[in-house]
Structure 1
Amino acid sequence: MANGGGGGGGSSGGGGGGGGSSLRMSSNIHANHLSLDASSSSSSSSSSSSSSSSSSSSSVHEPKMDALIIPVTMEVPCDSRGQRMWWAFLASSMVTFFGGLFIILLWRTLKYLWTVCCHCGGKTKEAQKINNGSSQADGTLKPVDEKEEAVAAEVGWMTSVKDWAGVMISAQTLTGRVLVVLVFALSIGALVIYFIDSSNPIESCQNFYKDFTLQIDMAFNVFFLLYFGLRFIAANDKLWFWLEVNSVVDFFTVPPVFVSVYLNRSWLGLRFLRALRLIQFSEILQFLNILKTSNSIKLVNLLSIFISTWLTAAGFIHLVENSGDPWENFQNNQALTYWECVYLLMVTMSTVGYGDVYAKTTLGRLFMVFFILGGLAHCGLWTHHSGECFQLPEGLSAQGPG
């Protein structure tokens, strides 16, 4: 019994030992669970942090693309959304032209109304002048009104400034001739810069402080702006001056340069209109005493009109074909160089039409239709006048070959 009890006790002691070992095992398992929970929580936190960092990085490096009217192209790297700013350049020219036209028309209207409304006052002043004349004849002098003296002084100052501006741009003086020749030379220089920039995209990012051609073009256009001011001051009819060809050229070429400096981007746009200055080539040669006969002047004038029209039309085709139609979301554009457009216009004007280069946009095709009609009329006129230029004098034509 004692042995049995001892065995039981031993067994119980063994059981106690087993219980102690089981407690140690449970504590170890609990510790392992805690470490696993900690590691899982740390891994989850790290994964969440990594996911948040990835999401944040994705939010930084992958901007949300909204629906754009103008497609994304690699030609405009300065704007992450791919939007072009051609409308800002065109709006600067349109606001300048129509704003000035509105001011001129408003000034004329107000001046006309003032003249009509104060017509009776004018008669009163004339009567006063007659009375002053009679009083002066009688020997009694009346003092002149100070307001009339101020108005007369102001009119005299404005007249003197206008006369000075007229002398500066007049071809009758040496200063005027030098200024006209200089403006023509700078216009040709601006046209050459356009030829160089035509190899670039229609709209591209350009830093004014790093782009040498943009700086030169800016200097040229500042000079054109000053010359435009002189011409405006010297003009007798401001409205007619505002609608001249040279004025329209300045409206669509000078303001976009200042916009390009502000936006740090360049739009090729309507800079091809500088080719219209070539129409004055015969006048420049007359100023330099190179052309002296009427036939030579007429022939050079015809050639200058032909070349200026040709280059200007090629610039328009280059613009619309490389940009595309606005109502087609600018999707139907094609890459054409400026000189390919020059070739296209020459082939079209001669009505040959090889078909290797053709207009793809609707604007380009409509322009080509009217250009063909105008080219045919111009070629007929040019042939007629050139035949007159190469005619022999009447004395020589009357003589026979012997």
Structure 2
Amino acid sequence: MSSDPWGRVDETGTVYVRTADGEQVVGSWAAGSPEEALAYFERKYEGLVVEIGLLEKRVQTTDLSAKDAQTAIGHIREQVDAHHAVGDLEALRTRLDKLVEKVESRREERKAQRAKQSDEARKAKEDLVAEAEQLAASDQWRVAGERLRALVDTWKGLPRLDRKSDDELWHRFSHARSAFSKRRKAHFAQLDSQREDARRVKERLVAEAEALSGSTDWGVTAARYRELMADWKAAGRAQREHEDDLWNRFRGAQDVFFAARSSVFAERDAEQGENLKLKEALAEEAEQILPVRDLKAARAAFRSVNERWEAIGHVPRDARGKVEGRMHAVERAIQEAEEAEWRRTNPEARARAAGLTGQLQAAVDKLRGQAEQARAQGNTPRADKLERELEGRQALLDQALKGLEEFGG
């Protein structure tokens, strides 16, 4: 018979293992010596030790699931409980029990971790839904659209919740995106319609602008181009592929007209500049007529100047008032001289002036006499009143005498 601290072999070849409950049969051995039998079953024990060690390491360092770990522990425990090895089987059971505790602890940790991750995922998805619903009402089409696409990518990266919760949140999220897409589609459909209307309006404006480009009715056509430009701005933008082409045609037609007008105006401005020099010289010649000493000669000289003036064309508008004012001043001076001559030589007017002067002289003489008489009689109030009337009549007489002098006395 052969034995060691944990087992023995009897004379019949039966192998026993010692346990807390007494000896348990491990098996029988007939192939060799008792020592070889013990060595064989001791190696099986060592194999169980190694297997438990590996499982402990997997549980500690890998993401082995609790279910798989329990299955592996159960498999090893069956072998230990079957007493098919020689060694400290109770120590193996103790290690397996601790391993079970470790697995359960890991299970609870993972359960708590999953619960925490689920709560975080729920909060994250609720936040995504809230933002998506806010963006659904936005008119910032490009920015909001890009943000919604980013939210979808974020959603895809989050863990799934329980099916009911996940479906409900996804339904709200999807509805918000759909609402935004419908509003954006309606907006751009309306915008396309408006741009199509703008294109038709601008095509009509371009056609009229091109038709006017050869006009020489400078003022009327320039005014019409300003109206067309106002209509162009009011029409809004056409589609991008049409807007630039229409604008180039519209602007090109205007450029043709205004270039032609500028050329004509430049030529006219040069001509009018020369006309201004000629008229300034004539204005200076007319001013030499003043003061009027010989009315007949002055009229003849001014007539000569004016005939040459009329033969000259237009001058620049900004200089017209000044140069024409100089001629008008000379003309008015001659007219005033003519009026003075007429008053001086008009017999009827002279007679009327002389008659009025005589009447006023008689009235002055009469009042003077009455005033002197009243003062001599001591009637001071009457004398004062008559003298005040005398002063008024004397002033009128003085004015009449001055007018009579203009007729040569």
TM-score range, shorter chain: under 0.3
TM-score of the superposition, structure 2-length normalised?
0.21
Asked which structure has the greater RCO (Cα within 8 Å, sep 6+), the reply is 1
TM-score of the superposition, structure 1-length normalised?
0.21
Greater radius of gyration (CA): 2
